[in-house]
A and B are shown apart, each in its own frame.
Chain A
Amino acid sequence: MKAFSYVDAANEKDALASLGTERNQVLAIGGGMDLLGMMKDYLVQPVRLVNVKRLDATIARTPDGGLRIGSAVRLIDLIEHADARRMYPALVELAEQVGTPQIRNAGTVGGNLNQRPRCWYFRNEEFHCLKKGGATCFSVNGENQFHAIFGEGPCHIVHPSNLAVACLAYGATFRLAGPSGAREVEAEQYFQMPDHNLYAENVLQPNELLTHVTLPAPMAGLKSAAYEVRFKQAHDWPLAFATAALVMEGQTVKSARIVMGAVAPVPWRANEAERALAGKTLSEETAGRAALAAVQGAQPMSRNAYKVRVARTAVTRAILKAGGMKVV
């Protein structure tokens, strides 16, 4: 591993002062659960690491009745937060499923949202793929069983973050702090497709930090849930998952936000499914129809057509679970 310096930033201001403008030269480190692996595998060789665990690590009520989560909050803190669980169950359930207890004890919200892709071509040094500045995406004609079923490429990663999917479903905004102040970006605008940004997965600039996630107050009648499909039950990644945030009036869905994970280079919002649900009485059938709509535009690769079925199941079950109905 290349020698690097380490800045133990006392606060946001110090941390920002230590960053630079060149990509992957100076990197923020939260729990290090992702970054250390990247460094040990020689995938990034930063000259400096900036500890961001001393940034805001609290979960606070906002004036409008939502929650504001500091980026240094650990996944375990989020999991154990009673208000968060009551108000945003999908977010907390997804945090609970991440990796292993060790990873959840060390991993932070900021790190989770900004973690790099797990594409095995990306993670193995032998493959100098598009995302690493090479000429090909090896997944296209290669081993793509865990790759994206949505998106036009040229890179076919699935976004790895569990929390990101819930953030979209709840309409979260992210606070990004940079050298010339802070900006608020909607979660949906934060993550970027590879045709817009091949070398990174979001709008964050090298000299910026994600400092807070703000979740709006739950609307009256909001019922939400997440459903993950995992093959191996621990220390593994979901094959596909979904969150459903339904605004209900009795058994009728007034409006819905359906977001899928592990299916596309960004958390994948299923607008068609949302439209299919709106105004409908919640039932196994309407949920199933919405799920079918959710995967309508899927373009599976040579080996991942099964993920279309898995994603569809995840959507159906997330909707039913949100509505308090029997899932299987």
Chain B
Amino acid sequence: MAEARQVPEVAAPAVAQGNAAYAWPTHPTYMGTDVQRIDGPDKVTGRAKYSYDIQRPNMLYGRIVRSPHPRARVVAIDLTMARQAPGVKAALAVVEPNAILMFQGEEVAAVAAATEEQARDAARLVKVQYEVLPPLTSVEQAMSPDAPKVFPDGNVREGAAEETGDLAAGFKAAAHVVEQTYNTQVQTHVSLETHGCVCEWDGDKLTAWVSTQAVHGTREGFAQALKIPQANVRVITQYMGGGFGSKFAPDAQGIICANLAKQAGAPVHLMLDRKEEHLATGNRPSAYAKIRAGVSADGMLTAFDAQTWGTGGAGVGAGFPLPYIYQFPNRRRQHKDVYINAGGARAMRAPGHPQGCFITEVLMDELADLVKLDPVDFRMKNLPPDAPDARWRAYFPIAAKLFGWDKRHPTGDATPGPIKHGFGCSANRWGGGGRGSHAHCEILPDGGVIMRCGTQDIGTGTRTLVSIVTAETLGLPIDAVNTEIGDSLYPFSGGSGGSTTAASVTPAIRVTAVKALDALKAKVAPKLGVPPADLVASDGRLHARNDRAKGMTWKEACRTLGAEPIAVDGEWQPGLSASGTSGVQMAEVEVDTETGVSKVTRLVCVQDCGLIVDKLTAESQVIGGVLFGVNYALFEDRILDRNTGQMVNPNMEWYLIGGPSDVPEITAHLVDQPERGVIGLGEPPAVATAAAIANAIANATGVRLRSLPMTPDKVLAALEQQRAGGTR
């Protein structure tokens, strides 16, 4: 069965090795400054057209019939009534009779009709006969010995044990041992724009406007599934409302949409609704860890022994890194993937890391309390050595200063009254880094500049970054650059996953722009009587390096081209990007101990990402990441009915996402590392937030929550247990 789809990790050095020919400018005009998104006005005025907004002549609307049952056998599918419903132009079965459906929301059939409402109504007329089979509804049930064997290779897949050092010796050296179980919930992506596309055929050629994180990857996906040449597929993604790791392929709905369009002989718009999103388009797996860990009297970690498990739903793994960041010299871990009858996991913003971070960082605070050390001091003792991609030793003090960590009280706010305040901290790491993007640049005789790259802007600001780097390189204003992205007809660029887009795309743009400029210099140099190598482009002029007067305006320079524009291709080269980021977060919370309600009031994030291309969009990533983390900490939870396995909150009413009044004051402190080259930032800031909040709640209340989300019932139960004389 499918593994979580994900962009593979990039094996890149932690520091750019240098690339003299294309080196980043040392005194940039735009790079590293606050540049507003070039498409901001289009987005806020609605001129920007998302896949959802695409309208084609004679377009139909598709709707998928999905299994209401977490596990069932399809006995029969009857499309007759649906075909006869008003407006219906196409109907198809997605699965054959006898197919076994493994999760609620699995695709069964589909229809296309003239209006969205007709399609919805018609979908309800598809008569599907199911033989309902008993599902696995929870991890506990799936792991119990008498659970029905639902998955062919077993409900549980046990991984190989990982072991380092001498565990027995480690525990012997421990003055204190913590033995606890931790867990995190299943979180769904909740992209603001749902999954889906508009598909239109012209003969045997398909054009698809897709909400995707991978324009080229999705082209390949369509070609493979539809058994047509890749050259016959064009994928367009001009604007995109978020994917967070769940949108790398056409998916079932994309292929269904293409098939409906073919059958109907008309374009089909098939975008999912919120319920379908929650059920069938991926999630972050849950994580559980039963841990025994030891610390020496002087606060050094000695041993770590963990059994871990989690579910990625129907047949998908649930791996996560553990222990996270801190150095346990002697450790062992045994992991199990548990399968249940629920929608499968997909990559989700820093896959695995928030889970591993939460579990480890909460444990770290428990250990720190036992040796009576301040959490920051305790962490500083147990961090790995400082390295370009491991800078926590520098960042904890910076964060502490920005945050006012010195005002932290010991665990348990002693202030009288029900409202308690607390501080918490945590650290994160991530890879990032680039590879493989291509670009094409044209300099036109009238002075126009086109930069093309088949990357996609998933909301992070990639379009703006392309313009910044091009303008910087050519010495032009940002709005002089025509940036064209989001189309598989443009040069190849990889999927936007793993925080790799900036580090893949910006070097390609830099290389291509330098090449284009070199070509222009070669044309202009003889006319100016200056060797090409001595020419520089700045402030809209091409001139001798040491004599600004000896030159011409950009327009004049381009006019020398006559009728033939400059057109060059370039691609990513090493030396302009690197891999590996580190960050530290500190949170302040306010907990009402008589209601169990926790509110995050303040959050400081110290984060690096190599060379900062646009400070404004970088800060946006940090703020967005922190909000992501706040929601993970307090609110989000995919809740399945324990008896039927059906999701009870597949909406945005009971699947809670914080609103403006739930947002803390966020300080985004970015550390610029121009010497490392571009790295990438989409995922790192989302990792540490929940752990910092958990530790802050414990600092406030004196009771420790080891389970996400930290809802009022859990806070009150922990306080109750403490009052009843329970341990910690």
Q: Which of A2, A100, A120, A123 has the most CB of B within 10 A?
A: A120
Q: Given the known A-B contacts A1-B121, A306-B717, are A231 and B597 also in contact in the complex, defined by CB atoms under 8 Å?
A: yes
A230 touches B68 (CB 8 A): no
B654 touches A120 (CB 8 A): yes
Indicate which residue in B121, B662, B711 contacts A234 across the interface (CB closer than 8 Å): B662
The B-contacting residues of A in range 98-153, CB under 8 angstroms, are: 100, 118, 120-121, 123-127, 138, 141-143, 145-146
Find the A residue at minimum CB distance from B711: A231
Within 8 A of B (CB), among A63-107: 100
Are the CB atoms of B641 and A142 closer together than 8 Å? yes
* B656, A231: Cβ atoms closer than 8 Å: yes
Contact mask for chain A residues 288-307; partner B; CB cutoff 8 A; 1 contact, 0 none: 00000000000000011110
Q: Is the Cβ of A126 less than 8 Å from the Cβ of B68? A: yes
B529 at interface (Cβ–Cβ under 8 A)?
no
Q: In whole Å, how far is B647's beta carbon from the nearest beta carbon of chain A?
A: 8
In the complex, which range does the number of interface residues on chain A fall in? 35 or more
Q: How far is the CA of A138 from the CA of B641 in the complex (A)?
A: 9
User: Which residues B389-432 have CB closer than 8 A to chain A?
Assistant: 417-419
Query: A residues 208-238 with Cβ under 8 Å of B?
Result: 229-236
User: Quick one: which of A42, A124, A233, A306 contacts B648, CB cutoff 8 A?
Assistant: A124
- Chain A: CB-nearest residue to B714: A306
**Known contacts being A306-B717, A310-B596, is A143 close to B641, with CB within 8 Å?**
yes
Contact of B713 among A145, A230, A314 (CB under 8 A): A145
How many B residues face the partner with a CB closer than 8 A? 43
Cβ of A248 within 8 Å of any chain B Cβ, yes or no, is: no
Chain A residues in 8 Å Cβ range of B644:
126-127, 138
Is B615 part of the binding interface, using a Cβ–Cβ cutoff of 8 Å? no
Chain B, residue nearest A146 (CB): B654
Which residues of A sit under 8 angstroms from B104, Cβ to Cβ? 126
| B173 touches A (CB below 8 Å) | no
Counting chain B CB atoms within 10 Å of each CB, the highest count among A2, A146, A310 belongs to A310
Q: For chain B, residues 90 to 127, give those with C-beta under 8 angstroms from any C-beta of chain A.
A: 104, 117, 120-121, 124
B residues less than 8 Å from A233 (CB atoms)? 599, 658-659, 661-662
Q: B710-728, CB under 8 A of A: which get 1 and which 0?
A: 0111001100100000000
With A and B bound together, what is the CA distance between A121 and B639 in angstroms? Answer: 12
CA distance A42 to B594 in the complex (A): 39
Task: Assess whether B418 is in contact with A328, with CB atoms less than 8 Å apart.
Answer: yes
Residues of A close to B596: CB separation below 8 A = 306, 309-310
A239 in contact (CB, < 8 A): yes
The reply to whether B642 and A143 form a contact with Cβ atoms under 8 Å apart is yes
Are B642 and A232 in contact, with the CB atoms below 8 A? Answer: no
CA distance A24 to B417 in the complex (A): 49
Residue in A118, A145, A146, A234 whose CB lies within 8 Å of B661? A234
Given A232-B635, A313-B594, A328-B592, check contact A124 B646 (CB 8 Å): yes
**Contact present for B642 and A142 (CB under 8 Å):** yes
B57 at the interface (CB under 8 A from A): no
| A1 and B641 within 8 A (CB) | no
> Are B716 and A306 in touch, CB under 8 angstroms?
yes
> What is the CB-to-nearest-CB distance from B106 to chain A, in angstroms, rounded to a whole number?
14
Min Cβ gap A228→B in Å is: 10
Are A239's CB and B595's CB within 8 A? yes
* B653 touches A (CB below 8 Å): yes
From B642, which residue of chain A is reached at the shortest CB distance?
Answer: A142
User: Which residue from B595, B651, B656, B720 sits with its C-beta under 8 Å from A232?
Assistant: B656
State whether the Cβ of B650 lies closer than 8 Å to any Cβ in chain A: yes
Give which listed residue, B120, B648, B650, B656, contacts A121 with CB less than 8 A: B648
Partner of B712 from the list A121, A127, A310 (CB cut-off 8 Å) is A310
**Distance in angstroms between the alpha carbons of A226 and B126 in the assembled complex:** 49
Q: Which chain A residues border B658 with CB–CB below 8 Å? A: 232-233
**What residues of chain B lie closer than 8 Å to A314, measured between beta carbons?**
595
Within 8 A of B (CB), among A32-63: 42
With beta carbons under 8 angstroms apart, the residue of B68, B635, B647, B713 that contacts A303 is B713
Known: A120-B649, A143-B641. A309 touches B594 (CB 8 A): yes
Q: What are the residues of chain A within 8 A of B653 when measuring CB–CB? A: 118, 123, 235-236
Q: Is B660 an interface residue (CB 8 A)?
A: yes
Is there a chain A Cβ closer than 8 Å to B45's Cβ? no
Chain A residues, Cβ within 8 Å of B117: 1
The answer to whether the Cβ of B546 comes within 8 Å of any Cβ in the partner chain is no
Q: Is B643 an interface residue (CB 8 A)?
A: yes
**Alpha-carbon separation in the docked complex, A327 to B4 (Å):** 50
Residues of B within 8 A of A304 (CB): 713
- Do residues A127 and B646 form an inter-chain contact, with CB atoms below 8 A? yes
Query: Which of B634, B643, B652, B654 contacts A142, CB < 8 Å?
Result: B643
Complex contact B120–A234 (CB within 8 A): no
Contact indicator B124/A120 (Cβ below 8 Å): no
- As a 0/1 sequence over residues 180 to 193 of chain A, the CB contacts with chain B under 8 angstroms (1 = contact) are 00000000000000
- Inter-subunit contact A306/B713 (CB<8 Å): yes
A310 and B595 within 8 A (CB): yes
**A313 — which chain B residues lie within 8 A by C-beta?**
418, 592, 594-595
Q: How far is the CB of A310 from chain B (nearest CB, A)?
A: 5
Known contacts A124-B646, A127-B646, A143-B648: A236-B656 contact under CB 8 Å: yes
User: In the complex, which residues 653-670 of chain B have their Cβ closer than 8 Å to any Cβ of chain A?
Assistant: 653-654, 656, 658-662
Question: How far in angstroms is the closest Cβ of chain B from A87?
Answer: 28
- Name 27 interchain pairs, CB-CB below 8 A, sorted by A: A1-B117, A1-B121, A120-B649, A121-B641, A124-B647, A126-B104, A127-B641, A138-B641, A142-B641, A142-B642, A142-B648, A143-B639, A143-B642, A145-B711, A146-B654, A229-B595, A231-B634, A233-B659, A233-B661, A234-B661, A236-B656, A239-B595, A303-B713, A306-B717, A309-B594, A313-B594, A314-B595
Q: What 4 pairs between A and B have smallest CB-CB spacing?
A: A233-B661, A306-B713, A234-B659, A120-B648
* With A1-B121, A236-B656 already in contact, 17 other A-B pairs whose C-beta atoms are closer than 8 Å: A120-B649, A121-B641, A123-B651, A124-B647, A126-B644, A127-B644, A127-B646, A142-B641, A143-B642, A229-B712, A231-B635, A232-B658, A233-B658, A234-B662, A304-B713, A305-B713, A309-B596
